[in-house]
Amino acid sequence: MRIAVPAETQGAETRVAVTPETVRKFIGLGAEIVVEKGAGLASGINDADYEAAGASIAKNAKDALKGAAIVLKVRRPAESEIAGLPSGALVVGIMDPYGNEAAVEALAKAKVAAFAMEFMPRITRAQVMDVLSSQANLAGYRAVIDGAAEYGRALPMMMTAAGTVPAARIFIMGVGVAGLQAIATARRLGAIVTATDVRPATKEQVESLGAKFLAVEDDEFKQAQTAGGYAKEMSKEYQAKQAELTASHIAKQDIVITTALIPGRPAPKLISKAMVESMKAGSVIIDLAVERGGNCELAKPGEIAVTPNGVKIVGHLNVPGRLAATSSQLYAKNLFAFVETLIDKSAKTLAVNWDDELVKATALTKNGAVIHPNFAPKPAPVVEGSV
């Protein structure tokens, strides 16, 4: 049972799908691990570290993939990589299929079984496999650190002989995993923190971390959460009321961090151009949703934009990758925990249970077809009276 780990080629990806720790665990399950040369360098893992853990080093992706039963990735294989994937292999990673249906079709045509780790159900047994939470946690932390660095002033209140330094005001928009970590980090650094979210359950979480909750708490707000714990898309009327409430609040903030995402949809616009123009010079906006269009109207993917009134809008891509060593450590554990369920430990062979709820939730392709219900071709409608 050969497991291949090719180097990441998409964009400036710095994470890697295995660490020496998970290499040893995979070997304990009877696997042979082959890592492409240099795959872990951006995460601070040398080839020698992998070899010491028992992995083999391949000089290129072609050699790494040869004969692989499982291919572990951070991001979905690029178009140029798909042709090199072994037919019948399991390909596991963050597939980002929404808006990339052609890439999913290409994986199906390559006759690989592709699994999207971001579709892992939020149930108790899958918590250790939840890549969205592990990576968002670090993104929330890094957002505060980046915000503090760009702000250029101290965050906590300081009493000095030369005078008092006021505490910075930080506003977190979207209180999922990233938002909660951002609140906790900002509080630890001594800032005055407020936060908002459309889900009523988050109010208590925000207040338990010592921050103040801000939201329009009407009837729609009370129903604004899916059974899976995600935010629902709110009506235009609610969005207008929430925007009115937050507009005056944003004008007083030093740092604003936006984290709002709805699975499968463009990021909701939370900060308008007018709101940005109301902020004082030197204030900072960190947009963690910029890869999905951004929560801030003026955010630019991969750039730090400075507005005419002196507001910095930070649109870093792949924020978890800005903490590559830690992100890889957690992501690799997520991958191992899932792949372990696909292996028969006694026989030390692959044994995928296609009826397992984890497999059903994450499998995108199988036997040359797209099988996930969100992406599989819809049957043609039956026209009444046709034969």
CATH number at residue 38: 3.40.50.720
Cβ atoms of residues 304 and 312 within 8 Å: yes
Same domain, 74 and 152: no
Give pLDDT tens digits along the chain (387 positions): 999 999 999 878 999 999 999 999 999 999 999 999 999 999 999 999 999 999 999 999 999 999 999 999 999 999 989 999 999 999 999 999 999 999 999 999 999 999 999 999 999 999 999 999 999 999 999 999 999 999 999 999 999 999 999 999 999 999 999 999 999 999 999 999 999 988 888 999 999 999 999 987 777 776 666 555 556 667 788 878 888 888 999 999 999 999 998 877 889 899 999 999 999 999 999 999 999 999 999 999 999 999 999 999 999 999 999 999 999 999 999 999 999 999 999 999 999 999 999 999 999 999 999 999 999 877 655 555 544
Look at residue 379 in the predicted model and tell me its pLDDT. Answer: 66
Catalytic position from the list 230, 248, 265, 356: 230
In a domain, 25, yes or no: yes
Look at residue 376 in the predicted model and tell me its pLDDT. Answer: 81
Q: How far apart are CA 320 and CA 18, in angstroms?
A: 16
In a domain, 377, yes or no: no
Same domain, 120 and 220: no
How does DSSP assign 97-114, residue by residue? -TT-HHHHHHHHHTT-EE
Q: How far apart are CA 380 and CA 347, in angstroms?
A: 43
Look at residue 380 in the predicted model and tell me its pLDDT. Answer: 56
- If one counts the domains in the chain, the total is 2
Catalytic position from the list 2, 43, 76, 130: 130
In a domain, 18, yes or no: yes
Q: Specify whether 230 is catalytic.
A: yes
Residue 12 structural domain: 2-130+323-369
Same domain, 221 and 266: yes
Same domain, 308 and 200: yes
Q: Specify whether 130 is catalytic.
A: yes
Same domain, 337 and 261: no
Same domain, 315 and 190: yes
Look at residue 11 in the predicted model and tell me its pLDDT. Answer: 72
Catalytic position from the list 133, 135, 253, 283: 133
Same domain, 209 and 238: yes
Q: Could you give phi then psi for residue 220, rounded to 5 degrees?
A: -65, -40
Q: Specify whether 127 is catalytic.
A: yes
In a domain, 381, yes or no: no
Same domain, 178 and 303: yes
Same domain, 38 and 97: yes
Look at residue 387 in the predicted model and tell me its pLDDT. Answer: 42
In a domain, 376, yes or no: no
Catalytic position from the list 49, 98, 122, 225: 122
- pTM, full prediction: 0.91
Look at residue 10 in the predicted model and tell me its pLDDT. Answer: 82
Same domain, 314 and 334: no
Q: How far is CA 270 from CA 196, 234, 259, 296, in A?
A: 11, 12, 10, 6
Same domain, 111 and 143: no
Look at residue 384 in the predicted model and tell me its pLDDT. Answer: 59
Count the Cβ atoms, other than its own, within 10 Å of residue 122.
Answer: 14
Same domain, 203 and 316: yes
In a domain, 346, yes or no: yes
Cβ atoms of residues 237 and 209 within 8 Å: no
Catalytic position from the list 56, 125, 127, 265: 127
